[in-house]
Every structure is written in C-alpha cells, then in structure tokens.
C-alpha cells in the first residue's frame, strides 16, 4: 500500500506551526501557487471557511467565494425577513444559478488597507428580483459569508442548490423509514460540495475548489494525490469526505488540514479582524436545527411510521412503538419501557416492524459488509489488506482486515468486535493517515 512521502513546504505565512519534537512527514500540500490560478471557495459564514479563504487569498489565488443556498425547511420564515442585501435572485438560464455580490460588498475592496489587484471578469447570470428569493441554512450565515468575502476583497456568489438539497432530505427520510441511520453530511459533500460545486468551478474556469474542512491532500510515492486525516485529530473530517471522487482530489484544497489546534484558526480570524472569529461551531444537522428529526420525518412522510413491537433477544414482548424510524442501533434512551437494567437497540426490522433490544454485549459485532465503496486506491482482487476501520464520526479507527467482496463492496473483519455497527452509516478504511476507501454499512 502506498505511503505518504514528504512534499514541498508551503510558505511560512500559511503553513501550520510545526509540533515540538521531530518533524512529521505529513504536511499540508498545495498545488503550484499560480498568481492566476482561480479557486472556488465554499463559504458558509463560519470561522473555518472564512480563514480558509483568507489563507488562499494570501497565497495569491484568484478566489471566488460562494455560498450554497439550500432552502432548508427551517429557514422558510427567516428567508422572508432576511435583509434585502443578502437575498439571492435565481437565474433560469442554468441549473447552477448564481448572483453576484451586492454593491454593499465590493469585490474589489482592499484587505487591511492593501490595494486590490485586477481581476478577470466572471460571467454574470440573469437574475430575478428579490420577490423570488429563498432561504439558506441560515440568513445570518449568508450575511456573515458575504461580509467576510467583502473584507477579503473577493467576489461573492450565491448558488441555488435547493432542488438537489431537497433530494438529500428525501434520502434522510427514506433511510430512517427503512431502518437505517443516514449520514446527510456525507451525501451533501458527494453531491453538492464536490459534485455540483466542481461543475460550477468548470463553468468559471476555476482550477480548484476549496472548503474549510479539516483534512489533508498528500502525495504518495507515485505523486498521486491522496485524501488524508487532518493533524487536528479532534476535528478531522476525512471520514465525511470519503465520497470525493478520486479523480477530483488533485483539484481539492483544504487549507486548514495542517493546523493542529482550532485555537490557531480563531487566532488568525481575530488577527484579521473577522467578526466570526468567536462564532460557535455548528453542531446540529443543518435542516434539523432543533434536533427533532422525528418531527421532520412525520412532516415529510406522515404515512411512513408503521407501528410495531419491541422485543428482547429471546423474543419476549417488552413494548410497542409507532415506527422504526424512532430508533437507531445502539440507542438506550427513549425506548418507552423499563426493565431495571440498561437495554440497547441491537436490530431494526422495517419489514416486520420489530425492534430488538438487548444488553450492551449484544451490540458488539466482529464483521461488517460495506457496499457502495468509493476506492481511493487500486485494491488487488481477493487480497486481505490490513487497515484501520472507522464506523462513525466519533469512532476511533480500529485495526481490521479488509477483503474485496465485489467491485464496490468490501468485507471487514475487526481485530476486536466493535459496538453499534450501524446499517446506513459510513464506514471508512485507512492505511495509517491515508484514506483507502469508504462506503455504507449494509444490513445482513
């Protein structure tokens, strides 16, 4: 299996500080810093994407900030009351519609007194008036993203991905209804950030796309780009990026991947006078801001809830429920009954509606089948490969052996049985720091 090798260091102003002790061979890898290289930077209005944009601008990239308007349900009201200057007029000429930054956010404005440089004109798309505006994940986030782009002196566009995002919400609902636990963040990255956003980059002749994700792009021995874990292990997001096409990695920039501490990012933002330097990190699913995903399921698919039984591993009836989508593997709270000792959900059967519960030991599983694999390496057929397997975002990757079970499937055997191996969740395999591939845990 290919191993990472040292790459040329990036300029000191952008490079993360070296840790104490011997130098690590894992460093942030940027492509050649062309003064004319254009990069589309996804700006969410948070501190991470804002600092990522600032670092890339300092590198000499021709940065284009974009905000993805997804029309999440909870923002329907705030969209109507949002300030007019952050409204997004949608275009009809293309499905990747955009609106230029408003006059209040001058795309040629200097940063910290510096003189703005000349820019190649970006295509302007015909728009409608504000009466046809619609919401995004947060009106405040849109305003923050626009303000940060203005402070950095970069053009800012809003992209209308509402229709595509609605399909991700449909996926979320369908997975729960089928007894699986979905991961909408992974799907958003696959289809929007590293799908539709790449298409938009092609439309404006941008070589690269960038985000504020905590991950790295390293080079293996043959020079091929590889997705790798961030130095900040607590923030590492390579798990949710496994679906990025292998062919797209050479065009991806993750400026924050080499920083070991989030405090460094906030310090950069404060030094640049960014008002988002102390903005809290988002914790909830963006389209379920109140964390009441069951309410969303009832609204989106009222007929999807099917009453059923709750039984223990011996088949003993313990209670009833109004739909398997109320449960996920490993759940202990809110089961609706008491037995005097902890019981966990260990199986969901959407066909019969039976939810099976048992002791914690029953949660552990020695193997899993992973389907829909997106390989980041060429894996020999029928070869047993040692790897580290990560089965949910907060799970520490554990030693395992992987064998291909088809072109897009893998059988994974853990060295030690793991708790709550959950159908529908992503499983990502690593060779040390490098992503080997990832897919979806299947029900067997």
Rounded CA-CA distance 324/345 in Å is: 11
| % the chain with pLDDT above 90 | 55
Average pLDDT over the chain, rounded to whole? 78
Closest CA to 238 of 408, 67, 433: 433
pTM for this prediction: 0.78
Query: Is 31 among the domain residues?
Result: no
Same domain, 267 and 229: yes
Query: Is 20 among the domain residues?
Result: no
Instruction: Give the confidence band of 283 by pLDDT, cuts at 50, 70, 90.
Output: low
Rounded CA-CA distance 132/326 in Å is: 36
Task: Convert the pLDDT of each residue in 355-365 to its tens digit.
Answer: 999 999 999 99
Q: Residue 429 belongs to what domain range?
A: 362-441
Stronger pLDDT, 279 or 72, i.e. the higher one? 279
The confidence score (pLDDT) of residue 266 equals: 94
Q: Sign of the C-alpha dihedral, residues 246, 252, 255, 256?
A: negative
What token pair was written down for 26?
Answer: 């894992």
The confidence score (pLDDT) of residue 321 equals: 92
Q: Is the pLDDT of residue 292 over 60?
A: yes
**DSSP character at residue 58:** H
Read off the CATH number of the domain in which 382 is found.
Answer: 2.40.30.10
Exactly one of 97, 136, 137, 286 is catalytic; name it: 286
Q: Sign of the C-alpha dihedral, residues 277, 212, 238, 28?
A: negative
Residue that terminates a domain, selected from 358, 382, 402: 358
| Residue 372 near residue 408, CB atoms below 8 Å | yes
The arithmetic mean of pLDDT across residues 343-367, rounded, is: 94
Same domain, 333 and 367: no
Exactly one of 105, 188, 252, 387 is catalytic; name it: 188
Same domain, 310 and 392: no
Task: Convert the pLDDT of each residue in 74-120 to its tens digit.
Answer: 443 333 333 333 333 322 223 343 444 332 333 333 333 333 333 33
Same domain, 232 and 216: yes
Backbone angles phi and psi of 354, in degrees to 5: -85, 130
Which segments of 287-328 does DSSP mark as H helices, in order?
A: 293-300
Q: Is the pLDDT of residue 146 over 70?
A: yes
Q: Is the pLDDT of residue 27 over 80?
A: no
Read off the CATH number of the domain in which 125 is found.
Answer: 3.40.50.620
Q: Quote the number of domains for the chain.
A: 3
The arithmetic mean of pLDDT across residues 406-414, rounded, is: 92
Is residue 136 among the annotated active site residues? no
Task: Convert the pLDDT of each residue in 166-204 to its tens digit.
Answer: 999 999 999 998 999 999 999 999 999 899 999 999 999
| Residue 269 near residue 277, CB atoms below 8 Å | yes
Query: Is 327 among the domain residues?
Result: yes
Same domain, 316 and 250: no
Closest CA to 184 of 430, 424, 354: 424
**DSSP character at residue 201:** H
The confidence score (pLDDT) of residue 411 equals: 96
Task: Convert the pLDDT of each residue in 125-136 to its tens digit.
Answer: 333 323 333 334
The arithmetic mean of pLDDT across residues 244-265, rounded, is: 94
The torsion region of residue 119 among left (phi > 0), alpha (psi -120 to 50) and beta comes to beta
Same domain, 48 and 138: yes
The arithmetic mean of pLDDT across residues 14-30, rounded, is: 35
Same domain, 321 and 413: no
Is residue 185 among the annotated active site residues? no
The strand pair at 354-358 and 364-375 is best described as: unpaired
Residue with structure tokens 């050649």? 32
Backbone angles phi and psi of 366, in degrees to 5: -90, -25
The confidence score (pLDDT) of residue 376 equals: 94
Distances, alpha carbon 330 to alpha carbons 164, 419, 427, in Å: 31, 8, 16
Distances, alpha carbon 15 to alpha carbons 11, 18, 24, 212, in Å: 6, 9, 13, 15
Same domain, 240 and 384: no
């Amino acid at each position: 299996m290919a191993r990472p090798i040292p790459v040329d260091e990036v300029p000191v102003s952008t490079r993360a500080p070296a840790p104490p002790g011997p130098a690590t061979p894992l460093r942030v890898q940027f492509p050649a810093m062309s003064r004319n290289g254009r990069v589309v930077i996804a700006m969410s209005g948070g501190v991470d994407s804002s600092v990522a944009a600032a670092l890339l601008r300092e590198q000499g990239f021709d940065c284009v900030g974009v905000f993805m308007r997804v029309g999440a349900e909870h923002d329907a009201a705030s969209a109507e009351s949002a300030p007019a200057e952050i409204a997004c007029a949608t275009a009809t000429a293309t499905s990747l519609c955009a609106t230029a930054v408003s006059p209040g956010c001058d795309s040629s404005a200097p940063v910290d007194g510096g003189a703005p440089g000349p820019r190649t004109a970006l295509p302007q798309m015909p728009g409608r008036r504000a009466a046809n505006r619609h919401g995004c994940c947060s009106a405040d986030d849109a305003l923050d993203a626009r303000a940060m782009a203005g402070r950095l002196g970069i053009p800012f566009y809003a992209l209308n991905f509402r229709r595509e995002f609605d399909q991700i919400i449909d996926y979320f609902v369908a997975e729960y209804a089928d007894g699986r636990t979905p991961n909408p963040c992974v799907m958003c990255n696959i289809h929007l950030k590293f799908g539709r956003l790449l298409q938009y980059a092609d439309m404006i002749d941008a070589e690269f796309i960038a985000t504020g994700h905590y991950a790295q792009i390293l080079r293996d021995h043959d020079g091929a780009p590889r997705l790798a874990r961030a130095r900040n292990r607590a923030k590492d997001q390579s798990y949710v990026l496994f679906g990025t096409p292998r062919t797209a990695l050479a065009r991806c920039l993750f400026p924050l991947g080499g920083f070991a501490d989030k405090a460094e990012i906030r310090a950069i933002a404060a030094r640049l006078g960014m008002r988002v330097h102390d903005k809290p990190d988002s914790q909830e699913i963006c389209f379920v801001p109140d964390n009441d995903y069951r309410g969303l399921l009832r609204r989106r698919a009222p007929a999807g809830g099917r009453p059923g039984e709750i039984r223990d591993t011996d088949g003993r009836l313990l209670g009833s429920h109004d739909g398997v989508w109320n449960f996920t593997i490993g759940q202990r709270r809110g089961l609706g009954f008491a037995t005097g000792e902890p019981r966990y959900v260990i199986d969901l059967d959407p066909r019969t509606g039976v939810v099976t519960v048992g002791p914690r030991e029953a949660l552990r599983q020695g193997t899993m089948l992973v389907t829909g694999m997106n390989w980041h390496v060429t894996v020999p057929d029928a070869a047993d490969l040692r790897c580290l397997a990560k089965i949910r975002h907060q799970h520490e990757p554990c030693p395992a052996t992987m064998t291909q079970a088809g072109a897009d499937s893998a059988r994974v055997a853990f060295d030690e049985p793991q708790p709550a191996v959950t159908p529908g969740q992503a499983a990502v395999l690593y060779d040390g720091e490098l992503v080997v591939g990832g897919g979806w845990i299947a029900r067997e």
